[in-house]
Amino acid sequence: MSHGNGGGEATFKVFRGDARKNEEIEYKVPVEPGMVVLDAIHWIQANRAPDLAVRWNCKAAKCGSCSAEVNGKPALMCKSRLDHFPAGEPIRVRPMKTFPIVKDLVTDVSWNFEVNKRIPAFKPRANAEWKWQQSDIDRAQEFRKCIECFLCQDVCHVLRSHELKHQFAGPRFLVRIAALEMHPIDGEDRLPFVKDQAGIGLCNITKCCSEVCPESIHITDNAIIPLKERVVDRYYDPVAMIWRAITGKNGKK
Amino acid sequence: MERYEVHEHDVLVVGAGGAGLRAAIEASAMGCSVGLVTKSLLGKAHTVMAEGGVAAALAHVDPQDGWETHFRDTMKGGSFLNHWRMAQLHAQEAPDRVRELEQWGALFDRTKDGRILQRAFGGHTYKRLAHVGDRTGLEMIRTLQDRGVHQGFDVYMEVTLTRLLKDGDRIAGAVAYRRDDGGIVVFRAKAVVLCTGGVGKAWRITSNSWEYTADGQALAYDAGAELIDMEFVQFHPTGMVWPPGVMGLLVTEGVRGEGGILRNRQGERFMWKYLPEARRHEYAADEDEARRWVEAAVDAKQTNDRRPPELSTRDNVSRAIYTEVKEGRGSPHGGVFLDISYLPADRVKRKLPSMYHQFMELADVDITRTPMEVGPTTHYIMGGIRVEPDTGAGTVAGLFAAGESAAGMHGANRLGGNSLSDLLVFGRRAGAGAAAYAKGLGSTPAVNEAEIEAEVADLLAPLSRGQGESPYDVHKALQECMQTLVGIYRSQADLEKALEELERLRGRARAVRVEGSRVYNPGWHLARDVQNLVTASEAITRGALLRKESRGAHSRLDFPNMDPQLGTVNMCAVKTAGGMRVSPTPLPQMPAELKALFEPAKEKVG
């Protein structure tokens, strides 16, 4: 049995059911060269289990719909090549753990969309000049590569293990806030939101989110840590506090 | 009778891609109560797949550019079958729509003097595409999405419309189901804006996602609206051909815009052979001139050198590749080679990061060192719902459409980059048109209970049917039929065979059996999707049969030339008691001042 050379067969153990009643069902799938886990799920749908629920759109790692946990790791199914798994061993496919299960591989990710609504919108500074250099936006453009697959949300222990969704926005939305904060023309002040509602203090920089990001965004280093630094400067740095008291400058951009 | 929930809005927008989001923002900003319905999660629509850029004559890189040139390029690209007014509005308004996107937070790549950078694309005389590397569509949809969530309209995610409801001759709302639990939803609305995208899932080799099942076209057709130009289906010249799992996946035209060269198995740069005689003067005469053009493009400098032959229009490049492969000069996996590896690796990675990763991760090909293998893939339909250019109004009162589900803007062939600008320009106009119509209507039209009941029964029938085929098998058969009989090259015999097959497929699609419950059941969803695809496929095939000529993306082996008579008509499909009727309708006449733009003295050759 081989996973990559064609002509072989791979074994899949797929989570079927919902939170109340579920089981792991085994499927044998014929393998073609270059095949990914999502291809196998589609084959199972078309040939064995027509009601197998899965989300997907682009199949090109651009839309972030087909997030799941493959052999225990959060991953996009469309990017998980069969020949990267050990030949002869079953491949386990399960839904993301952090979100409530709808059915099979589909989870209810609506909480993420609720968080997004609460983030203060982009607000251009008055009289800003709409000209900037590429180097001024490289950092923010990195964050805007985010395809909202929510794998970082899935792996984040604050959300996954401690279930603090009501206190913490999660890496995806800290990335989104960082993109807004680092926009050259933006004039909104989101630091109170970052500190109090997004709960940035809860992140203790384990970098799990950066590891699973399919867009290779340096979530922790480039988005979260700089935001943490801004919060510390504003709210917890005594020297800066005294300086602001003297100068009357409040540290906003 | 099944219980269902009811929502009421002034304007119901269907589809949350670029056009739908832009329409919802506009209608909402005009003070209407707006509901936005999407089959997927918000932000996943096919717009995220658009890579190369949004066409707008901003004239930041090539100052000679202007709306007149963009208009001319678009009309020529569409073989003059476009609605002149749509092409005009599009060319005139695209720059404002791009600037607006920037004011809503989009971050486009920059020129050295800090303005929005623009790149070259097929069929565009000048460097015209505002872009963000090769993820322009993502930037656009995210900007609209983030603008939209603060706009105050309601979003219904993972909800699929199955029927438009009418009160007499007017739109009154729609029936839909929720994917997550199979629950029925009835929308009452004064106006409905269809922004549902295309029909690409009718073919086996396609760049389109599962969503591209002609829902809007079928809903509109069933409600009595006219579909036009359906025979014009764009086969994007460069899809991935290997490995099999990614066959059809798009390789952005940005690769050619950045200097990518097409070669056959013998290493021959074949595109020169395929340039239409009338347009040959617009392209580089030899390798040297093409190379100088690329050098200028890399530096975002103006040049008098002409563009490489690879930047011919999509229909032309697709046919060229098809012919090379057919005549035995293809690559090992049935495509041709697209090479950008001669440019510095860091530049390729910076300008085409998604392409670099896509080939590296899915095909084990490093495009900075090795050529890509590419071939044509079903990509876009130029035809769709007939709309009034200024307002997006369809031929049924209260029905509006924009984006790929609407027709008229692109004629016989769409230029790359004109889709993203189309979404913005006509998404906004359709949103405004629907809002104005809704405001003019006193009360929301009544919905008919019996009509709802009939639709719900029809929708649920496959779940309780004792026997029948799997919808997946019917879908596969439809894709084989369209792939082999209604592809890049068409003929009378093939098209007639396809019509017979489609007749059978319609029956098969209506008789499928679905296993499982109503809870998130893709098989059940596909059962309806396939019916919509059959409807659209019939309109495409009937239009192709009537259009006994080759024009734009429609190529007839038995009629290889353009027929001037057929250049004056659209093929129009309407539902009648006896089934689908397709017949020619006259194209609107271009006014004299626009015609004058095509006089030789006024044309600048870039």
- Give the pLDDT confidence of A215-234 residue by residue, as tens digits: 999 999 999 999 999 999 99
* Dist. CA B501–CA B497, nearest whole Å: 6
pLDDT tens for each residue of B553-605? 999 999 999 999 999 999 999 999 999 999 999 999 999 999 999 987 655 54
pLDDT, one tens digit per residue, over A77-100 is 999 999 999 999 999 999 999 999
The mean pLDDT value for B371-382 works out to 96
- Pick from A33, A60, A148: which is nearest to B244 by CB? A33
Interface of A with B in 113-152 (CB under 8 A): 113, 116-117, 121-122, 124, 130-134, 137, 140-141, 144-145, 147-148
Residue A248 has pLDDT above 80, yes or no: no
Q: What is the pLDDT of residue B606?
A: 41
Q: Which chain B positions have a beta carbon within 8 Å of A103's beta carbon?
A: 180, 519-520
State mean pLDDT over A25-50. 96
The predicted pLDDT at position B321 comes to 97
On average, the pLDDT of chain B sits at: 96
Distance of CA B163 to the CA centre of its chain: 22
Are B362 and A144 in contact (CB < 8 Å)? Answer: no
The pTM (predicted TM-score) of the whole model is 0.95
Cα atoms found within 13 Å of the Cα of residue B110, Cβ hemisphere only: 18
Cβ-defined contact of A60 to B249 (cutoff 8 Å): yes
Q: Of B10-14, B244-248, B259-263, B333-337, give the lowest mean pLDDT range.
A: B244-248
Residue B539: exposed, middle, or buried by beta-carbon count in 10 A (0-12, 13-18, 19+)? buried
What is the SS3 assignment for B433? Answer: helix
pLDDT of amino acid A230? 96
Beta carbons of B241 and B335 less than 8 angstroms apart? yes
B227: tokens are 């579909």
Q: What's the rounded mean pLDDT across residues A232-240?
A: 88
Enter the ipTM.
0.94
Tell me if residue B256 is catalytic.
yes
Which residues of chain A does B517 touch, with a Cβ-Cβ cutoff of 8 Å?
A: 51
The alpha-carbon gap from A225 to the nearest alpha carbon of chain B, in Å, equals 22
Inter-chain touch A34–B246, beta carbons under 8 Å: yes
**So what's the pLDDT on residue A2?**
43
With contacts defined as CB-CB under 8 Å, which chain B residues touch A178? none
DSSP assignment string, B270-337: GGGGGS-GGGGGGB-SSHHHHHHHHHHHHTT---SSPBPGGGS-HHHHHHHHHHHHHTT---TTSSEE
User: What is residue B600's predicted lDDT score, i.e. its pLDDT?
Assistant: 79
Contact A102 B180 (CB under 8 A): yes
Q: Cβ distance B199 to B540 under 8 Å?
A: yes
Q: Of B70, B256, B386, B429, which is the active-site residue? A: B256
pLDDT grade for B150, boundaries at 50, 70 and 90: very high
pLDDT score, position B185? 98
